[in-house]
Structure 1
Amino acid sequence: MKRLLPSLALLGLCSLPGTAQSIKKSDYPIQAVSFTKVKLADNFWLPRLKTNTEVTIPASFQRCEATNRVKNFEMAAAKSGKFATIFPFDDTDIYKTIEGASYSLKLYPDEKLDEYMDALIKKVAAAQEPDGYLYTARTIDPAHPHEWAGPERWVKERELSHELYNSGHLYEAAVAHYEATGKKTLLSIALKNADLVCSVFGPGKRGVAPGHEIVEMGLVKLYRVTGKPEYLSSAKFFLEERGKYQGYDPKSPDAWKNGSYWQDHKPVVDQKEAVGHAVRAEYLYSAMADVAALTGDQRILAAVDSIWLNMVSKKLYVTGGTGAVPGGERFGGNYELPNTTAYNETCAAVANVYWNQRMFQLHGDSKYVDVLEKVLYNGLISGVGLDGKSFFYSNAMQIKNSTSFPQTEPQRAGWFDCSCCPTNMARLMPSLPGYVYAQKGQDVYANLFISGTTDLKVGTKAVRITQQHNYPWQGDLKFTISPAATTDFNLLVRLPGWAQGEAVPSDLYRFATPSTEKISITVNGKPVPYTTRQGYAVLPRQWRRGDVVEVKLPLEVRQVVANPKVQDNLGRVALQRGPVVYCAEWRDNNGKTSNLIVPAATRFTTSYQPQVLNGIMQLQATVPAVQVDAANHSISTTRQTLTAIPYYAWANRGKGEMVVWFPQQLTDVDLISRQPKEVTVGK
């Protein structure tokens, strides 16, 4: 469940021990512009960030209180009581919410929230044992710890205990809190714990492949803040411990249960495919990118490059979702992308954002941002309701009221016994401004098209860039460049793959028909020639105050076709406009969607509906709809209006059918009528 924002500003860095002198020069070639330097004014994203601040984060803290997650810390401090929640990783819901609240504080100062966090952090501090150990599931009653924890510290870390997973989320929260507030209260707790971890694990000491990765990413964050080399070397050590487990039998039909589920089936440098529990995997791959960037390890870099190619070529849903199989919340085999049983955990979408941001920073290729954008506008925000307090743990691709197949969640819930996804959303959303821009020397990358203003420096010269547009509903982009003085630099504007005829940066999906529309770019109203580099339009210029760059992206409704090896989507199409993938929902389509057919020649009209689902661009077309007359044992088709809404907005108006992939012609009719089974969600 999370990553480092590699770009965040290091506030007060010099006041910490072991900083500047011990930080190595090796790092990501491209650095993101800090979220603290990007102020949003966006019609699409700003309301979501406000909802996260005003609803999601308070609801998350309230639910942590109501479900006794906070009480666990109080009992740990008192060394008395009985662990009061279900899972030993429930501590992390508090850490993740603190992380999100910290980012939010920087964007929206709130004295009461700041005070509440101060009080909560005191409870966390009181629960920490003298040597730095922090794990309420054992500390409350060491003689009778949680059944997943084992009789002693760390003995079940690989399989069940999540001790290091808890530590990783603590580190992430601590860095976010420190960078947003300048306070070291939570950071001091994290550093004490990290020092314990480094003293216990390492060459010649205890070794383990952490069962649920994230401690590796958290240690890298602490390394960035403190410059302490032990944190980076420990992160690398945990990566290198994979593939050493003696109990793994690759020939067993259940091999994934003791090997690949944890990405522990082979050394990381030998891994080439995205396998196992999708969230754990993508945290691991994010950490591999971190360690490769900071140490220059080319074998780790080659491995993570291969894994990314496998994921984007064979294991990515059209919405950017990952993790097809409910059993084990894991990646399936190549091209195993079912619709009615699609899992697509919301936490996996969060992790996929972190991973693709890192891949971009390593390589500077827009294809990684293309995937990141696909996740952001589709499979990520589908995980939270428009009310900000209802969630999907898994994100289905089809819901049928009459089916013989089990399905993932057909409706949203306010909380889960394993509530990792709501708190992961709470922490990701306010960090969004940190994904908009990036820099490398004289190159300034405009990655995401989100209205707002950033203040950055090119060399020693201050530059302000303002974006003004109505993306993703409209494709007219406007960038106003205002340097404090005339400044030479290269503005690199991402040319989205979807605007150039590429559905994804692989052959997993393609647009059914080519487009004749092209991207156009003007500077101060005049067309300009430009070169392209790795998917970016490169605009070198001596920029002056008030220079205006306008980019026109063709926004057409496109039919998407899957690779024929994806069996579930043979003869089917999905709908996409710009970065947004669409679905049909029962509410707009006579109570049913599984009977809709979209022939190849179908043409859609678009209309903005400000009163629907907080404002959406709606698609409509007249299509055949299958009618089954059970009394007369007959099947026919009638013409009706198909109304499609953005996939992210489904399940905000009640429970009913939904479909993303539409058949192009009538091939079969589902005559089985029974209520769908619901797949239980869990970590």
Structure 2
Amino acid sequence: MKIKQLLIVTLTILSLSLPVVQGQEILTPIPFNEVTLEDNFWLPRLHTQKEVLVPFALDKTKPAVENLQRTANFLKGIPDELPFPHRFVSSDLYKVMEGAAYLLKLERDPELEKEMDRIIDIISEAQQEDGYNYESHITGVARHDVNGMGERPYSYVVHSHELYNMGHMYEGAIAYYQATGKDKWLRVAEANARHINKVFFEGDPNYNDGKPVNQAPGHQEIELALVKLFRVTGDSLYLDMAKKFIDIRGVTYRPEGEGTMSPEYAQQHLPVREQTKAVGHAVRATYLYSGMADVSVYTQDPSLRPALDSIWHNIVDTRMHITGGLGAVHGIEGFGPEYDLPNKEAFDETCAAVGNVFFNHRMFLMEKDGKYMDVAEVALLNNVLAGVNLEGNRFFYLNPLEADGIKPFNHGMRGRSPWFGTACCPSNLARLIPQVPGLMYATTQNEIYCSFYAGSTTTLTLEKGNVHLKQTTEYPFSETIRWEVTPEKEGQPFTMHLRIPTWTGNQFVPGELYSYINAAPSGWTVKVNGKETKADLRKGFAIIDRTWKKGDVVELTLPMPLRYSKAIEQVVANKGRICLTRGPLVYAAEGVDNNDRLPNVFITDMSGLFNISTYSDGLMNRIPKIEVPAWEKKPAGNKEISLVLLPYYAWNNRNDGSMMVWFPESDTVQPYVDRYMATHGKYKALEASHTYQGDNLVAVADNVVPSSSSDKRIQRWTSWGKQGKDQWITITLDKPTNIQSVSVYWFDDGRGTKVPQEWSLEYEQENEWKTFPLYLTDAYNVFKDQFNMVHPGRQIITDKVRLLMKPQPEHAVGILEINIEEIK
């Protein structure tokens, strides 16, 4: 049966066989391609995606395309270089292609479509006849990284990313089929899914000695992708596979070890139905929970719901930053102890916030409860959007809630980076933002759920006729959302559900972590045809049940006073501190707006008085800024000031300066910080194999941040005079230190001194030098003009670290700065 015919059958099957789950109709999301954006907030972002982010990201993922082409040539016997060994570089390409597909649906682009077709041809040719896709094992280069990929296909599922990559390929293929109607990539995805089913659940003589692998992936993603594949093809095999992968997690395999091999790291410590708390790697976790919610709905399996409910509460009650950020802890990029929510040291990977949106949107669809969309909205408008600059070409991997503008935090950068060695975050942004229209509406047979607000138009299909909606709003800056309602039939009965966000009540976001200090409810109102209407509030939605006629107008007002939030006492990092929000947006202060006064500011006036205006220049144009009375702490006496704040998502678009989200309530909360105090000699001792007489070894430890790798205005260390010879630097710390990260800023003058050919780290333990265990997604990069940061793959406590360098032939190697951060 052809795919298009199968799709029609599928939609019929879904409408007939899955109308009810646990006694309620399924809530069906309206897909992104059926909602047209017409606003000033999201529509410009889609233009930025199309004109900047996706082309930029496609260019950055060219190495992945080259790897696939070399694999295709290998399979065809065409002489070529072998691909470089890598576990997940192809997944970044698939995510960017998924984002490009969404944009093609919104606006056809022959050139982009032509490029997509070219890459899809390569992907198809790089697939084995049996459906297997994994460049490193197909070509044999996995032998160079057996510890990361295993000796043979599917022999190291816990970290090889073989199934993770395919999950992202499925999602990209589905999006491209929906956008263009072309099914070549979809057929590649289906061939791989059938291959995986055979190898993992039936047994294939060419894999694992013919025995079913029967192991869940170390990095979840394929589960939710298989549900999507089921929904677009109607083939129940894929839904069955998704359920099996979820059912066997923590049952058929549990890793033993620490760090990335701990059973909690990939949520393999217990069967999923017995899990009650969010643990381990935050991205893996949210992808798992998303898949569990999908499987629960589409298999009508209520047994997954208690675990999902418990995990969701554990997140919002103990483990989520007020920005919607998840995974606060370095080292595992994940969930630490309950209430461990640091500000400056927060990890909060952009991908984890993306996962938070996916998870909560699915929970909303499962439970018809607006509180889940409240969390999704906060995560999207704050943490997710902060992950990319307003221009669309520089990114955050980490999203702290405070920065000093001096120390690097973003994988070696003080601010945003143009790309990352592990590029999951930029590629996730490329695919999520175009999907925002798909968050806005959901329907049952006779109900419309308005779940996310943005100026737009759509036509929805209900049991008794279509309904056209035109939504007009300047949300999230404006208080009013207006709908023009045009039913297909005059006098058509249906119910509209308008989401009333949690932030209109006594707290900013659901959960027990945060509450307003000035907690009076803001008093939302609903009007129909200009007349205020009493609307019942049920599960976070205002209900309007009536008979509708053409020309009806609904107006929802959500007042947006300035709110001051406090955190629960258990969050030690925020004791004596407050956070300011307005509507769904968290506000932050940047040094660039406040004469570099941060962090020496505090706020005592919480009356809610504020002045609001907008920026008028460049990329910041039309973004609101708020001014509130505050104080600057000074040694000679405190000074009253006006503190300027901007939406958190818009910070770090002008410079790499300081930023704060949580502000002290008094001058006793934190000591005065002299930002201009000399900080030379941050290590106990330094030793090098060789130092050129015109340079200074102390330069690597003077806390002077370079402007570029060729910065000659500051001191540096080089090995000039020993060109081409291996070098080392030993750093002795003041005390045994729990290492969080090590960062190196290379000097490269483009002539005699260049970045090294390669480098590595050792640490001393019991008077013996040992190899530094690298975190599984890190690499010893030699990027110019930024810090190159690595993290340990397990706990390392030491007072000596040695940096080993192999220069390029006939060149010296040089360093401008080395940072070693401690887990506190």
TM-score by length of 2: 0.77
1:56 to 41, 44, 53: 53
**Runs of 5+ unmatched residues, structure 2:** 203-210, 680-702, 706-739, 744-774, 779-824
Tell me, yes or no, if the aligned pair for 2:415 and 2:656 is still in contact at 8 Å: yes
Report the secondary structure of 1:205's partner residue: coil
Q: 1:496 aligns to what?
A: 501
Instruction: Give the fraction of aligned pairs with identical amino acids, expressed as a percent.
Output: 37
Q: 2:73 aligns to what?
A: 78
Tell me, yes or no, if the aligned pair for 2:169 and 2:189 is still in contact at 8 Å: yes
Q: 2:653 aligns to what?
A: 652
- Determine if the alignment matches structure 1 residue 605 to structure 2 residue 604: no
Distance in 2 (CA, whole Å) between partners of 1:447 and 1:679 is: 43
Distance in 2 (CA, whole Å) between partners of 1:622 and 1:19 is: 57
Distance in 2 (CA, whole Å) between partners of 1:670 and 1:678 is: 26
- Determine if the alignment matches structure 1 residue 616 to structure 2 residue 608: no
Note the alpha carbon deviations across 1:58-110, whole angstroms, 9 max, x for none. Answer: 11111112xx2111001101116565556310001111111111111010110
Tell me, yes or no, if the aligned pair for 1:137 and 1:145 is still in contact at 8 Å: no
Distance in 1 (CA, whole Å) between partners of 2:259 and 2:41 is: 44
Output the amino acid matched with 1:35.
Answer: F
Tell me, yes or no, if the aligned pair for 1:165 and 1:212 is still in contact at 8 Å: yes
- Determine if the alignment matches structure 1 residue 133 to structure 2 residue 132: yes
Query: What is the 5 A alignment of 1:17-416?
Result: 24-25=17-18, 29-65=26-62, 68-79=63-74, 84-85=83-84, 87-141=86-140, 144=143, 146-147=145-146, 148-158=148-158, 160-202=159-201, 205-244=212-251, 248=255, 254=258, 257-401=261-405, 410-416=414-420
Distance in 2 (CA, whole Å) between partners of 1:143 and 1:502 is: 51
Tell me, yes or no, if the aligned pair for 1:20 and 1:227 is still in contact at 8 Å: no
Bigger drift between 254-263 and 648-657 goes to 254-263
Distance in 2 (CA, whole Å) between partners of 1:614 and 1:215 is: 40
Distance in 1 (CA, whole Å) between partners of 2:558 and 2:10 is: 48
Note the alpha carbon deviations across 1:499-541, whole angstroms, 9 max, x for none. Answer: 1223222221011112254111111111111212111110111
Output the amino acid matched with 2:245.
Answer: F
Tell me, yes or no, if the aligned pair for 2:614 and 2:621 is still in contact at 8 Å: no
- Shift of residue 547, structure 1, vs aligned partner: 0.6
- Determine if the alignment matches structure 1 residue 637 to structure 2 residue 638: yes
Note the alpha carbon deviations across 1:560-618, whole angstroms, 9 max, x for none. Answer: 11111110000100110000101001110102321110114353221133436132111
- Determine if the alignment matches structure 1 residue 12 to structure 2 residue 14: no
Q: 2:798 aligns to what?
A: none
Output the amino acid matched with 1:306.
Answer: S
Bigger drift between 645-654 and 200-209 goes to 200-209
Q: 1:630 aligns to what?
A: none
Tell me, yes or no, if the aligned pair for 2:470 and 2:485 is still in contact at 8 Å: yes
Report the secondary structure of 1:262's partner residue: coil
Output the amino acid matched with 1:89.
Answer: F
Cα RMSD, aligned residues only: 2.4
The 1:315–1:143 alpha-carbon spacing in structure 2 relative to 1, beyond 3 Å, is: closer
The 1:143–1:45 alpha-carbon spacing in structure 2 relative to 1, beyond 3 Å, is: closer
Query: What is the 5 A alignment of 1:550-561?
Result: 550-561=555-566
The 1:405–1:15 alpha-carbon spacing in structure 2 relative to 1, beyond 3 Å, is: closer
Report the secondary structure of 2:633's partner residue: strand
The 1:424–1:271 alpha-carbon spacing in structure 2 relative to 1, beyond 3 Å, is: same
- Determine if the alignment matches structure 1 residue 477 to structure 2 residue 497: no
Which one has a bigger Cα radius of gyration? 2
The 1:679–1:552 alpha-carbon spacing in structure 2 relative to 1, beyond 3 Å, is: farther
Distance in 2 (CA, whole Å) between partners of 1:407 and 1:340 is: 14
Output the amino acid matched with 1:359.
Answer: M
Tell me, yes or no, if the aligned pair for 2:70 and 2:83 is still in contact at 8 Å: no
The 1:354–1:300 alpha-carbon spacing in structure 2 relative to 1, beyond 3 Å, is: same
Output the amino acid matched with 1:72.
Answer: N
Q: 2:698 aligns to what?
A: none
Report the secondary structure of 1:601's partner residue: coil
Tell me, yes or no, if the aligned pair for 2:72 and 2:127 is still in contact at 8 Å: yes
Q: 1:579 aligns to what?
A: 584
Distance in 1 (CA, whole Å) between partners of 2:413 and 2:375 is: 24
Q: 2:671 aligns to what?
A: 669
Ranked by relative contact order (alpha carbons within 8 Å, sequence separation 6 or more), the top structure is 1
**Runs of 5+ unmatched residues, structure 1:** 1-9, 628-633
Normalized per residue, which structure has more strand?
Answer: 2
Distance in 1 (CA, whole Å) between partners of 2:461 and 2:46 is: 26
Distance in 1 (CA, whole Å) between partners of 2:328 and 2:128 is: 40
The 1:319–1:405 alpha-carbon spacing in structure 2 relative to 1, beyond 3 Å, is: closer
Distance in 2 (CA, whole Å) between partners of 1:97 and 1:256 is: 27
The 1:608–1:143 alpha-carbon spacing in structure 2 relative to 1, beyond 3 Å, is: closer
Distance in 2 (CA, whole Å) between partners of 1:470 and 1:95 is: 33
Tell me, yes or no, if the aligned pair for 2:405 and 2:414 is still in contact at 8 Å: no
Report the secondary structure of 2:327's partner residue: coil
Tell me, yes or no, if the aligned pair for 2:410 and 2:416 is still in contact at 8 Å: no
The 1:16–1:86 alpha-carbon spacing in structure 2 relative to 1, beyond 3 Å, is: farther
Distance in 1 (CA, whole Å) between partners of 2:452 and 2:225 is: 26
Aligned length: 662
Output the amino acid matched with 2:56.
Answer: A
Report the secondary structure of 1:269's partner residue: helix
Output the amino acid matched with 2:73.
Answer: A
Tell me, yes or no, if the aligned pair for 1:403 and 1:670 is still in contact at 8 Å: no
Distance in 2 (CA, whole Å) between partners of 1:546 and 1:19 is: 31
- Shift of residue 671, structure 1, vs aligned partner: 4.6
Distance in 1 (CA, whole Å) between partners of 2:17 and 2:471 is: 35
